[in-house]
Amino acid sequence: MTGFILIVIAALFFPGIILRTKSIASGRKGPGLFQPLKDIAVLLRKGSVFSISTGLIFRIAPSVALISVAGAMLLLPFSEHKAILHFEGDFIMFAYLLALGKFFMIIAALDTGSSFEGMGASREALYSMLVEPAFFILLATFAMFSSYTSFSVIFNHFYITGNDYVFIYSIIGAYLFVQIAMVENSRLPVDDPKTHLELTMVHEVIILDYSGFDKALIHMATNLKFALYGSLIYNLLVPAGWNTLLKIGAFFGVQTLFAVIIGITESFRARNKMNKNPKFILTLTTIALIAFMVILILTEKLV
């Protein structure tokens, strides 16, 4: 339960920190930390407009996306505090809950019948598909490492396995989770969330037809998803044995750092060329694969 609440709190200020970092990096003062939340509040009070060419799928997709993220949050522990739901192999459930939300957003985009949204849907589907192996191989590495297959137990046992290489694995894991989160949340260098150019959009274009309340749901899901990945990173980096207050501080520290890293990345580099994106994403899989091979050797499962 603690994990769930902390993620919700972190999601409140996460987009504000990204925005603020980018503002400061570009020499501006920037809006207040809670401006993105206020924007969502405004959207929540508005009605939605639906195109006549859309159907049921288009209307339910934002709710499904939000619920799927909330569902995934139920599976994440906070150090030794176990998740609300935990069972063997729950990380597969986690990955496919997020995938379900994305799947609905993609078919909703196709539902609009717009050529822009069709292109965006095809790009989004491709990148999600490519990033999936990276996630699973990384999780398999951790499962190997701790000999458990549930998030709650993996992270609990991470630092007490006594393995000398735990620190390296935490770092590689954190790096990959940051990158996977960037791909999954459609941020630089794979996608540019700020662009107004439909032809270069990936995620933005598939939510182009949403307005008002539904758009607020999508934004909420995105913010929660960021904090969700931030929580994964925290669990990797901070040993469960620390004092609770210190851990809560560390949790928000990790979330803030994560947001700042995203902000800085987006300030000082350009987006990838579209056809370079698959290569970029496959690199993540490769790194995960190397980590996996090494753990196989270390645990003497591979001669």
Residues that bind other proteins (CB under 8 A): 22, 25-28, 115-116, 118-119, 188-189, 192, 194-200, 266-276
Of the pair 22, 225, the CB lying nearest other proteins is at: 22
CB 269 within 8 A of CB 136: no
Whichever of 191 and 214 has its CB closer to other proteins, that residue is 191
Gap between the terminal Cα atoms of the chain: 42
CB of 284 to other proteins, least distance (A): 17
CB of 28 to other proteins, least distance (A): 7
Least distance CB 63 / other proteins (angstroms) = 27
How many whole angstroms separate alpha carbon 100 and alpha carbon 107?
Answer: 11
Using CA atoms, how far apart are residues 58 and 52, in angstroms rounded to an integer?
A: 11
Q: What's the chain's length in residues?
A: 303
3-class state of residue 213 by DSSP: helix
- Cα dist from 223 to 7, 11, 115, 166, 230, whole Å: 10, 5, 27, 30, 11
Closer residue to other proteins in complex, CB, 39/198: 198
What angle, rounded to 10 degrees, do the helices at 2-25 and 35-44 form?
Answer: 110
Of residues 23 and 256, the one with the C-beta less far from other proteins: 23
Q: Cβ of residue 280: shortest distance to other proteins, in angstroms? A: 11
What ranges in the chain are assigned the alpha helix state H?
2-25, 35-44, 56-73, 90-111, 115-146, 151-157, 166-184, 203-206, 212-237, 244-267, 277-298
Structure tokens at 61: 């997709």
Q: Give the residue with the Cβ less far from other proteins, 130 or 237.
A: 130
Taking the complex as a whole, the smallest distance from the CB of residue 128 to other proteins amounts, in Å, to 17
Distance of closest approach, residue 179 Cβ to other proteins, in angstroms: 15
